[in-house]
Structure 1
Amino acid sequence: MSFFEDIAAALDTEGIESRVHDDTMFVPITSDLEIQFQEIDPHMPAANVYIAAADVDEDDENFEAVLVSVVFSVDDAVATVARHVATDQVVTVLRDLLEGTDERIGDLEFYQDALNANLVRAEVGQNSELQVLVEVIDGLPSAVVQFVAVGESFEDLIDQAIDELWESDGEAQLSEEDRARMFADLSAEVEIATDEVLDLGVFTDFDRLFDVISLAADQAEDWEEQLVPFDESEFEEPDVYDIYGADADDDADLDEEDDDEDDADFEDLDSEEDLDPDDDADENFGTVRDEE
């Protein structure tokens, strides 16, 4: 079998369709996107991997295939396809969340995190938010869902901290850049200090994911009331008693007594005279038993 035939057979086992035309293999990822394998060596298994638009003809001037990797085995080819399929599923779920295409989340407005493109947030309850991180975990597209509640108004805490910071400056001259950096650091610290996080799980079934998000939105206010900050100082550490201490001392005393007894036994043995097992034999030597 040729390299492409081996790849096609392996993809078919995974339930992924493919077709070969001339020296190129086409693997559809979505209706708009496909992976293309092009053999680059007639003697060894090797192929360039391209991502291309599926609905554009090769003769079209707008056609563009982007080289993304090179594979040298069937396993590499299958793994490459699986990775791109998973990535496309991640993008699809993120788009559904941001655009609210599912009616179960129609009342929520998700927005993308400024630092992590795979993280989306939506405000729920009085002062909380749902966070959904969609990414590929162990080769599977997955969504990590958290309910984050803030015990007090975050904006009020920030305003209070800013006022205190301005008052404490005194005669110190800080540039606007320094102030902005200090405010950003302070905001991060306050946010970390006041957030109460409820982990809702990791989901690979995205239909169930939307059910969970819908339920979380309905339960948001109840969860806010129950998620109170945990102050360790309010809980005294339990007294720890050495329940084995007395037994350990007793065992030590017993061991010491056993050692004393052993020493005494050795002394008794040293004081006794050695018995010669041949003495009895010498006394009986020459004794003749009368025969009847």
Structure 2
Amino acid sequence: MSFFEDIASALDAEGIESRVNDDVMFVPITSDLEIQFIEIDPLLPAANVYIAAADVDEDDEEFEAVLVSVAFSVDDAVEAVSRHIATDQVVTVLRDLLEGTDERIAELEFAQDELNPHLVVAEVANDSELRVLVETIDGVPSAIVRFLAFDFDEDDLDDIEDEAVAQAWEVDEEDEDLDEADRIALFDNADFDEVPIVEVPAEALELGTYTDFDRLFDVLGLVSEQALDWEAQLVSFDDEDYEEPDVYDIFGEDDEDEDFFDGEESDFEDETDEDNEK
């Protein structure tokens, strides 16, 4: 069997379709995207792996296939296809979350995290967040869901923010004579790597890891319904509003009982001493 025939057989075993046209093997990923294998050495064997737009004429000026890897074995080829299928599924789920295409999350408005493009966040309840991290875990597209209930006092948070800004505003002794305009310019051009990050305390509720994305949307729909109740149960209570049960009287009675028994033992010892003297 040829290299392409071996790859096709392995892909078929995974339930993945493929077709060969001349010297190119095509593996559809979506209706708009496909993987192409072009054999470069039949004896080694080896094939270049490309990502390309599907259903595009090779003579089209906009046609562009991007080399992404080289497969030296059937396992390499199957792994490349599986990886790109998983990546496409991750992108699709993230897009569905951000665009709110599913009616089950109609009450949720997700935004992409500034630092991690695989993380989307929705504000829920009063001071809580629903976070969904969509990525591949061991080659399997997965979504990790967390509910964060922030527990903070507005005044305390303002103090923390003011302290962080004050530290960022500090200048060296040689710059103490700078006027406000110069300070602002210095602040704008500063390296913020050393500026302290304001961390807001939060209670986390782990809601699971999902590979079944239909079930994921069922869970997210439930979160929007339960967010207020979960937030109320997760945030810490105010010690001043908590009345500690009165248990001291019980111990007081125990102390009296101990005194009573101590007295009885003392009387018993006195009587014993008198009997011995007789």
Q: TM-score range by the shorter chain?
A: 0.7 to 0.9
**Given that residues 162 and 183 in structure 1 are in contact (C-alpha distance below 8 angstroms), is that contact kept between their aligned partners in structure 2?**
no
Separation of aligned partners in 2, 1:46 and 1:167: 60
CA contact (8 A) 2:98 2:120 kept: yes
Deviation of the 1:157 alpha carbon: 4.2
From 205, 211, 220, give the equivalent of 2:212. Answer: 205
Number of the residue aligned with 2:60: 60
Q: Quote the offset at 1:125 in angstroms.
A: 0.4
The structure 2 residue matched to 1:185, chosen from 192, 196, 199, is 196
Asked if the contact 2:164/2:197 (under 8 Å) is kept, the reply is no
Cα distance, 1:64–1:170 mapped onto 2, change above 3 Å: closer
- The answer on whether the counterparts of 1:134 and 1:141 sit within 8 Å (CA) in structure 2 is yes
Counterpart code for 1:47: A
SS of 2:59 mapped into structure 1: coil
| 1:160 matches 2:167 | no
Structure 1 CA distance for aligned equivalents of residues 225 and 191 of structure 2? 37
Alignment partners' CA distance in 1, 2:235 and 2:26: 55
Q: Deviations over 1:60-79 (max 9, x none)?
A: 11100000000000011001
TM-score of the pair, normalised by structure 1: 0.71
Hey, what does 2:227 align to over in structure 1? 220
Contact 1:27 1:35 in 2 (8 A): yes
Moved over 6 A (4+): 166-172
Residue 263 of structure 1 aligns with which residue?
none
Task: Give the aligned residue type for 1:161.
Answer: I
- CA shift, 1:114, in A, is 0.3
Residue 88 of structure 1: SS of its match in structure 2? helix
CA RMSD of aligned residues (A): 2.5
Q: Report deviation, 1:163.
A: 3.5
The match for 2:15 is 15
The corresponding residue for 2:126 is 126
* Percentage of matched positions with identical amino acids: 66
> Equivalences for 1:213-292 in 2 at 5 Å?
213-229=220-236
CA distance in 1 between counterparts of 2:107 and 2:37 reads 43
| Cα 1:23/1:156, change in 2 over 3 Å | farther
Q: Which amino acid aligns with 2:231?
A: E
- Corresponding position of 2:202: 195
Q: SS at the partner of 1:47?
A: strand
Structure 1 Cα separation of the partners of residues 101 and 158 of structure 2: 36
The one-letter amino acid of 2:208's match is G
SS in 1 for 2:41: coil
Larger Cα-atom Rg? 1
The whole-number CA distance in structure 2 between the counterparts of 1:84 and 1:170 is: 49
CA distance in 2, matches of 1:178, 1:196: 36
Structure 1 unaligned blocks of 5 or more: 231-292
